């Protein structure tokens, strides 16, 4: 099994798209991530998986906090900006939820404090204890097989 085959297989798992955001010394850093899931209801925990190559890793280690912003179907441009795929972009404004920066227009904004970090292979799993949530009634952005999609009516 080679890397390409593994990536292709994992890409067959349809997901939403999030931007993980944190702030260090007054500077906000965002990163697109779809390796996100809910972990526990009591206590309320989520997990994000961050590559050892991502600048975000050191930022979350420093701040100890992050937000997960579940993108809406109209926010594909933000996904591309925070994946480093769109270099000449407009300034992105962040709002605040509790102590973390969040993106306006997201389907859900989830504020977290890091409760544990597990290094697994070339990624770190950050377990976040959820401290605040804001939800909107928007359609989500979908990612499947390397392409952005929208939900179809059933």
- Does 106 bind ligand FAD (CB under 6 A)? Our answer is no
- C-beta separation of 122 from 6 below 8 A: no
- Judged by CB under 6 A, does residue 19 bind ligand FAD? no
Helix (H, G, I), strand (E, B) or coil at 110: strand
Show the site string, 35-54: x = touches ligand FAD by CB under 6 A, - = not.
x-------------xxx--x
Interaction mask 112-151, ligand FAD, x per CB under 6 A? -------------------------------x--------
- Kindly state whether residue 92 participates in binding ligand FAD, applying the rule CB under 6 A: yes
CB of 31 to ligand FAD, least distance (A): 4
Cα–Cα distance for residue pair 42/58, rounded to 1 Å: 28
Residue nearest to ligand FAD (CB): 35
Our separate counts of H helices and E strands in the chain read 3, 12
Please give the Cα distance from 30 to 50 (Å, whole number): 12
With CB under 6 A as the contact rule, the residue among 22, 30, 69, 140 that binds ligand FAD is: 30
Give Cβ neighbours of residue 96 (< 8 Å, ≥ 6 apart): 102
Picking from 41, 22, 37, 50, the residue whose alpha carbon sits closest to that of residue 126 is 50
Residues in touch with ligand FAD (CB under 6 A): 17, 28-35, 49-51, 54-56, 79, 81-84, 92, 143
């Amino acid at each position: 099994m080679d890397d390409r085959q593994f990536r292709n297989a994992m890409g067959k798992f349809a997901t939403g798209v999030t931007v993980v955001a944190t702030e260090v010394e007054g500077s906000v850093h965002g990163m697109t991530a779809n390796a996100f899931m809910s972990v526990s209801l009591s206590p309320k925990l989520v997990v994000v998986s961050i590559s050892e190559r991502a600048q975000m890793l050191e930022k979350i280690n420093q701040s100890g906090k992050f937000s997960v912003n579940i993108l809406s179907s109209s926010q594909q441009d933000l996904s591309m900006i925070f994946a480093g795929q769109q270099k000449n972009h407009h300034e992105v404004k962040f709002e605040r939820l509790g102590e973390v920066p969040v993106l306006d227009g997201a389907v859900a904004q989830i504020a977290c404090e890091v409760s544990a970090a597990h290094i697994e292979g070339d990624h770190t799993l950050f377990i976040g204890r959820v401290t605040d949530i804001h939800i909107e009634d928007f359609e989500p952005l979908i990612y499947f097989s390397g392409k952005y999609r929208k939900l179809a009516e059933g």
